Structure 1
Amino acid sequence: MCLGIPAQIKEIIDVDNQVAMVNLSGVSRAVNIACVLSDVCQAHDLINQWVLVHVGFALSVVDEEEAHKTLKILDEIGELSATVEEMNQGEK
């Protein structure tokens, strides 16, 4: 199953290449933020915002309440722990 997982942008690590560090349940991962940038939204405006992440790309911005609801549901069905484990394995 392909899911966009909510994660919070913690820092911008490469403005030119549009890369940010996100946090998902204590796991940090670099993601491309090109899809969520626009003329009115610069990279640093995204710090602490929640985004849906899929295969290393932030696809859309979501509000914090929706992010927490989604994470809760994913945790209940077991998808969150599997995703976090996959992210951890990718770091090795």
Structure 2
Amino acid sequence: MWEASGERPVLYADSEGQAGLAGRNPTAAIQLIVRALYWRDCLGSASGGLDAMRSAVPNLEREYRSDNIDLDACRVSPARLLSLLLPLPPTADVLA
């Protein structure tokens, strides 16, 4: 039986055959997906390390907002539901 606190890595796989680790456990993966909706876009900056990924965040958020995507609204419902189960740390922390 799965436990939320267990260390079960979460793998992300897309339809184009790419795959990778999305979190060291289900909690970390959910936090990443809810807090940083654009987390896959940050991976393009990954070759520059964590600092490069973090510095890409303002540009990515601006890009999403310019496409009329309300990031805050996208986060509210899942965050409200998840706040009962787990904390939602800042974006910079979940990218780490």
TM-score, with normalisation over the residues of structure 1? Answer: 0.33
Structure (1 or 2) with the greater helix fraction: 2
TM-score, with normalisation over the residues of structure 2? Answer: 0.32
